Amino acid sequence: MADSSFAQLQATFRDFWPTVTLRSIDVERTVVVVHSISFDVPDQLIPVFPAYEERFLCMVLSLLRAPQSRVIYVTSQPIHQRVLDYYFGLVPELDTPEARTRFVAVSLVDGRNEPLSRKLLARPGAIRRIKELVGNPEFAMILPFCMTADEVALAEALAIPIYGSDPDLNWLGSKTGSRRVFAEEDVPHPVGLDVAGAADLPAALEELRARSPRARGAVLKLDKGVSGLGNALLDLERAGRDLNSAIELEDEELSVEQYLAALDDEGGIVEERIDGEVFRSPSVQLRMSPAGQVDVMSTHDQVLGGLHGHTYFGCHFPADAEYAAHIAAESLKVGRRLVREGVIGRAAVDFAAVKERSRWRPYALEINLRCGGTTHPLFALTTLTDGVYDPLAAEYRTRLGDIKHYAATDHLDSPAYRSLTPDDLLDVVAERGLGWDTGRETGVVLHMISAIAVAGRIGLTAIGDTLEEARRRYYDVKAAVDDTAARM
């Protein structure tokens, strides 16, 4: 467990929490945003890390609507001034000198491949400056991306609570921990087994075949794998003859030998591969408050890609109404268990849903005990439309009662985009009228803008009155950026 000083800080969160969730409350509050990604990712994603740190910028506008709210936004690299202008321009009434004075960007000017929280902890001067900016610690909190020992140390250094849990609870978001929670809370999930390492696989696969004789394949998952990149497919028939040749990796940068070494190091699970006439990959986003309340914030249908369709690329909101309420109810079981364990913050439950003979059957796959790819698109929608999601109706309605949908991605990319700058991107979206329409409350909100030049990649959330409209707006932006890059 984290030490008593962290526990004491977190104990103060219960009274402060209501001021965070009430958007226009007129009380003092300061939020320190530290979007630090503290887990291993493939090397090809490293250049995108500074842009990932900017994904919560749209949410900042929601906090600033309250006249006594202040935001301190920490990044590794300076945020392009035009990017900041773009976000403030999304909400015209907030694009004022007064509102801008309540937003302070703190850049460490450090592009090294190291978690942002760790970089910040290594700079006592930056810590002192943030503490001075915070002022009264009784009305302040840290908003992290995930929780590690670094985030605990950061909360202690700043002497303010953090919207996250003791890292000792991170086992609940591992693959083995997820399966344990699903089993103990009676949440339907695939047949499977824990494996401590590669030596366990032959016996585990034999037992899997016995318990699920109809299974045509299996999925092997590293215990701490992220975004599907720790997954591998197993052909059960071939595995009986030559295990290594039966393994097909999702991460093309790894060899089978490297993957099995990682399995020996961290363990994992093997489970039946869920198949059906129609297959979907929905997820449910949960919020656990310091007071022990669990809320279903959203449901999404995930858009998966990669070699075997296990890598997260984007999402559609909300999930299909035919199963959205069902997976929300199953996820509430998970959320209540997480609260009993002491979890606070955001989490998501991923599912596989298959349709057979006109009936949907969802299977829980894993718990992500952190923010994720569905967090910031929802922030964008709620910031700009001031609405709420109804998990029973599977609908999102704005403050005016209008239904909204979106299509979002972190992976709109092309090698040709590297010829563009953030200014080029913002120019083409503005000139072609593809941005946010405050009157209709539809349009496109960009994120990860700074990644376009370094990685040829951007993110966006396309919001419409229907999913079809949202998808059309998504592809309109793609076509415009493709055209602009081709003419450079």
CA distances (Å), 444 to each of 24, 154, 424, 430, 474, in order? 24, 34, 16, 10, 7
Q: Is the pLDDT of residue 117 over 90?
A: yes
What residues contact 141, with CB distance under 8 A and at least 6 apart?
13, 16, 20, 29, 30, 31, 32, 160, 161, 162, 163
* 3-state SS assignment for residue 200: helix
Q: pLDDT confidence of 226, banded at 50, 70, 90?
A: confident
Query: What pLDDT shows up at residue 24?
Result: 54
What residues contact 363, with CB distance under 8 A and at least 6 apart?
188, 189, 190, 274, 351, 352, 353, 354
Question: Rounded distance, CA 367 to CA 269, Å?
Answer: 14
Q: Specify whether the CB–CB gap between 409 and 314 falls below 8 A.
A: yes
Summarize the confidence of residues 153-172 as an average pLDDT. 96
Question: Rounded distance, CA 27 to CA 316, Å?
Answer: 35
Query: What pLDDT shows up at residue 176?
Result: 97
Least confident of 96-105, 176-185, 232-241, 417-426: 232-241
Q: Is the pLDDT of residue 250 over 90?
A: no
How far the first Cα of the chain sits from its last, in Å, is 54
What residues contact 388, with CB distance under 8 A and at least 6 apart?
382, 396, 397
Q: Which domains does the chain have, with CATH numbers?
A: 4-164 (3.40.50), 191-272 (3.30.1490), 278-486 (3.30.470.20)
Q: Is the pLDDT of residue 350 over 60?
A: yes
- The secondary element (H helix, E strand) that includes residue 349 is strand 345-356
Q: pLDDT confidence of 207, banded at 50, 70, 90?
A: very high
User: Full-prediction pTM beyond 0.85?
Assistant: yes
Residue type present at position 281:
S
Least confident of 2-11, 388-397, 424-433: 2-11
What residues contact 157, with CB distance under 8 A and at least 6 apart?
121, 127
Query: What pLDDT shows up at residue 123?
Result: 98
What residues contact 218, with CB distance under 8 A and at least 6 apart?
205, 208, 233, 234, 236, 239, 270, 271, 272, 273
> How many CB atoms neighbour CB 41 within 10 A?
16
Query: What pLDDT shows up at residue 452?
Result: 97
The mean pLDDT of the chain is 92
* 3-state SS assignment for residue 309: coil
Least confident of 80-84, 246-250, 432-436: 246-250
Assign residue 96 a region (left: φ > 0; alpha: ψ between -120 and 50; beta: otherwise). beta
Question: Rounded distance, CA 355 to CA 111, Å?
Answer: 46
Q: Please state, for a pLDDT cut of 90, what percent of the chain lies above it.
A: 75
Query: What pLDDT shows up at residue 62?
Result: 86
Q: pLDDT confidence of 426, banded at 50, 70, 90?
A: very high
Each residue of 434-466: pLDDT tens digit? 999 999 999 999 999 999 999 999 999 999 999
Query: What pLDDT shows up at residue 321?
Result: 97
Q: Is the pLDDT of residue 261 over 60?
A: yes
Summarize the confidence of residues 374-401 as an average pLDDT. 96
Summarize the confidence of residues 377-406 as an average pLDDT. 96
Query: What pLDDT shows up at residue 408?
Result: 98
- The secondary element (H helix, E strand) that includes residue 311 is strand 311-317
Each residue of 7-35: pLDDT tens digit? 999 998 888 887 776 665 677 889 999 99
Q: pLDDT confidence of 308, banded at 50, 70, 90?
A: low
Q: Which residue has the higher pLDDT, 251 or 371?
A: 371
Q: Is the pLDDT of residue 1 over 60?
A: no
Each residue of 49-77: pLDDT tens digit? 889 999 999 988 888 888 889 999 999 99
Centroid of chain to Cα 278: 25
Query: What pLDDT shows up at residue 216?
Result: 81
Establish how many alpha carbons lie within 13 A of residue 266's alpha carbon, considering only the half-sphere containing its beta carbon: 18
**Cα–Cα nearest to 300, from 278, 280, 279, 284:** 284
Instruction: Please count the residues of the chain.
Output: 488
Establish how many alpha carbons lie within 13 A of residue 95's alpha carbon, considering only the half-sphere containing its beta carbon: 11
Q: Is the pLDDT of residue 127 over 90?
A: yes
Establish how many alpha carbons lie within 13 A of residue 450's alpha carbon, considering only the half-sphere containing its beta carbon: 20
Q: Specify whether the CB–CB gap between 424 and 450 falls below 8 A.
A: no
Q: Please state, for a pLDDT cut of 70, what percent of the chain lies above it.
A: 95
